[in-house]
Amino acid sequence: MKAIRSMLFVLIALVMLVSVVGCQPKQPTGPATIRVLTMEQAGPTVDEMNSIVAEFNKANPDIKVEIEYVAYDALHDKITTAMASNPPAYDVFLGDDIWYAEFAKSGYALDVTDRISKDMHDKIFPAAWDITTVSSKVYGMPWLLDEKYFFYNEELLKQAGFDAPPSTWEELLAQSKVLKDQGVVEYPMVWSWGQYEAAICDWVILLYGNGGSLVDDKGAPAFNSPVGIKTLSWMVQTIDDGYTNPASISYVEEDVRNVFSQGNAAFAVNWTYMYDLVNFNDKESKVTGKIKMALMPGFEGSGAQSASINGSMGFSVAATSPNPDAAWKYIEFLTSESIQNQYSAHLLPMWGTSYDGENLTKLEAYTPANAVTVPMFNEQFPFAHVRPKVAYYPEASKALQLALQEALTKQKTPEQALNDAAAKWVDLAK
Amino acid sequence: MQRKRTLAQQDMLVGFALILPSFLIILGISLQPILSTLYLSLFEVPRGINLQNTFVGLGNYISLLSEPIFWATIGRTFYFTVISVGIELVLGLAIAQLIHAHPPGWQFLRTSLIIPWAVPTIVNGTMWRWIYNADYGALNGLLFQLGLIDKYIPWLTRPDMAMNLVILADIWHSVPFIALILQAALATLPPDLEEAASVDGATAIQYFWFIRLPLLRPAILVALIIRTVEAFRAFDLIYVITNGGPANGTVTISFLTYLEMFSFGHAGRGSALSFLISLFTLTLAFIYIRMLYRPEEKQ
């Protein structure tokens, strides 16, 4: 009997010990470790991010930086899941501008309004501050100031007898017809219309380029307007006519880049990063040196000369991080003007001063890509549109993605699909 | 005063002490999460730090069950489960019998069979996403070079086709599992049964149908339980290959749960969905186990 009792006692003690040890929060000892969650998609490469950390460690040897990369489409869910634990799994995370309303409401991102110096405030573009600012409070440093651009394969266009890129979507269809009829390329256009956020970005470009908008002045859905329906019908028609690669319905940006890099499309819409990879990386591109950028077309008679999508992102400190100061130090370094100027091949600086006088000349000379992307940024950015800043954006976006897909796969008419999505948006706003 | 325990009581105590560790583990890793999911499913859970949950009773269940998207999702989940497990069972049984017949090179066959099953599902999904890519995928390349198609087909752009292609990826991954279980079961069958059957003049089909298949029943049921529950909860393949698209054509119940719980931040609704999945898989396991143990009861 005694044996059993002592056995039980040992067992219970063991279980208690295990649970006590397991629940002990990790005490920060020695050098602070900053865990960073970011994405490997648009923006700097992993090598570039690592060499930035190496430079940071020269000045801050006591802060260890561990970076974890995920795909853009996993980023939001990973952040919100990580924030459910205390301390959170990450001290620093990369947030998209469409999530900041949610991050502000949920309290996930640290309010850093007081950490922004006047110098930072004045020198960084106001449009960049808009990314991380919600109700005049700042929840992070703007970082990836990006928008989608119009790319064309100059060689393919020349083969079809065109010297200049199209300036309207109508002109693009006319060129596409010739490209297709002459057998230069089977599908002149490739898009990222898969059931992802990427589809919303492409849709915003076409919708605003047709004089439409996602929401009206009061924030109510306006995308199911006659213009919205006409624009979505246009998308469906380009697939039916064989001008848009039909696989676009399943594609994201990387698929667009791969198809375009193989010379299997004459026109594409993508973020800044594609310009460098498609023109200067002969390991991944068969069309190096042949790709040009032009102002995004608009629709004739719509009153919109051009339209693009503002896809900017920012870095935030997790509100419950045990090392907010070290985390902020890293963010400040990563987003500093000198680092941004130095690593600008896949990411343009959001510092206004980087584009002034001598700085601009330097910036354009940093990489061969910059000579083109920097002036193009200045030309296109005034036409970039933001998506609504609402806390329920992920759900609203999914509803709109579904509507676009239902129309593209002909499950519903464009009108029906957009009306259903608009009704969902109204529901969500309640 | 020393209390006296009977031998039976002592045995019972020892028994309890011995099962205690496994009981605690089961409590911790299975019962506790299920119960807290049930608890959470009765609340509206706002996403954020230091926010209060609101008790809504069965509100989450009622609102879910009244939405057409829920029933469409259930329909797709059943389609995925029935088709994939059905084909996997037939193919698995065929492959198991092939190996059991010990053709030349059968050991190589058996070893290489493990490879698809050993590949992690997420890697498997990524691989098939590449295979199905319309512009540079292997499937179009293969069919085109064989002359079976004269133009690349945009796979994954029609809801029904995308669903069937995800099922194909699942079949490739899971057939080996069923084949290996059944092959192991076949190896334990007494060989004299086959001799006796042939002496009695049974044809190969009769032998298979009336002798081998009934003897394989326990193994088939085990394989079916595991695979049906797995297929019903399928998530990773869908997440990687289609992300639920096109037009929600591949959104199954687990994917919907993921969207509600993680993307939309409705932990209450997500928990309700999770609990419904648990309930369903438990029922399924219960039915299978009843079927499994019936022969013994008859004896």
Q: What is the DSSP string of A113-155?
A: GGG--HHHHHHB-HHHHHHHEETTEE-SEEEE--BEEEEEEHH
Per-residue pLDDT of chain B (299 residues; tens, 9 = 90+): 456 678 888 888 999 999 999 989 988 888 888 899 999 999 998 888 888 889 999 999 999 999 999 999 999 999 999 999 999 999 999 999 999 888 888 888 888 888 999 899 899 999 999 999 999 999 999 999 999 999 899 999 999 999 999 999 999 999 999 999 999 999 998 888 888 888 888 888 888 888 888 889 889 988 998 999 999 999 999 999 999 989 999 999 999 999 999 999 999 999 999 999 999 888 988 888 787 776 554 44
B44 and A CB contact within 8 Å: no
How many Cα neighbours within 13 Å face the side chain of A112?
Answer: 30
Q: Are A284 and A261 in contact (CB under 8 A)?
A: yes
The pLDDT value given to residue B163 = 97
Nearest-CB residue to A264 (from B135, B246, B263): B135
Q: Write down the mean pLDDT value for chain A.
A: 90
User: Which residue carries 């105590």 as its tokens?
Assistant: B13
N-term to C-term CA, chain A: 66
Q: Is the dihedral of CA A265, A269, A273, A279 positive or negative?
A: positive
Residues shown for chain B: 299
A245 and B CB contact within 8 Å: yes
The pLDDT value given to residue B297 = 47
Structure tokens at B291: 């079927």
N-term to C-term CA, chain B: 50
H, E, C per residue of chain B: CCCCCCHHHHHHHHHHHHHHHHHHHHHHHHHHHHHHHHHHCCEECCCCCCCCCEECCCHHHHHHHCCHHHHHHHHHHHHHHHHHHHHHHHHHHHHHHHHHCCCCCHHHHHHHHHHHHHCCHHHHHHHHHHHHCCCCCHHHHHHHHCCCCCCCCCCCCCHHHHHHHHHHHHHHHHHHHHHHHHHHHHHHCCCHHHHHHHHCCCCHHHHHHHHHHHHHHHHHHHHHHHHHHHHHCCCHHHHHHCCCCCCCCCCCHHHHHHHHHHHCCCHHHHHHHHHHHHHHHHHHHHHHHHHHHHHHHHC
B245 and A CB contact within 8 Å: yes
Mutate to test the interface with A, among B238, B263, B266, B269 (most CBs of A within 10 A): B263
Q: For chain B, state the CA radius of gyration.
A: 25
Virtual CA dihedral for B142, B144, B147, B153, nearest 10 degrees? 120
Instruction: Say whether B10 and A1 touch across the interface (CB within 8 A).
Output: yes
Nearest-CB residue to B49 (from A107, A264, A394): A107
Instruction: Say whether A319 and B49 touch across the interface (CB within 8 A).
Output: yes
Percent of chain A, pLDDT > 70?
A: 93
Confidence class of residue A191 from pLDDT cuts 50, 70 and 90?
Answer: very high
Nearest-CB residue to B157 (from A81, A246, A392): A246
Chain B residues whose CB is inside 8 A of the A258 CB are: 135-136
Mutate to test the interface with A, among B36, B69, B135 (most CBs of A within 10 A): B135
The pLDDT value given to residue A315 = 96
Instruction: Say whether A107 and B48 touch across the interface (CB within 8 A).
Output: yes
Domains recognised in chain B with CATH numbers: 57-294 (1.10.3720.10)
> ipTM for the complex?
0.87
CA distance A222 to B164: 36
Nearest-CB residue to B263 (from A245, A259, A398): A398
Closest by CA to B84, choosing from B275, B290, B223, B285, is B223
Q: Are A241 and A232 in contact (CB under 8 A)?
A: no
Chain A residues whose CB is inside 8 A of the B21 CB are: 11
Instruction: Say whether B242 and A195 touch across the interface (CB within 8 A).
Output: yes
Domains recognised in chain A with CATH numbers: 32-146+311-381 (3.40.190.10), 148-309+392-429 (3.40.190.10)
Nearest-CB residue to A402 (from B14, B155, B248): B248
Looking at residue B80, its amino acid is F
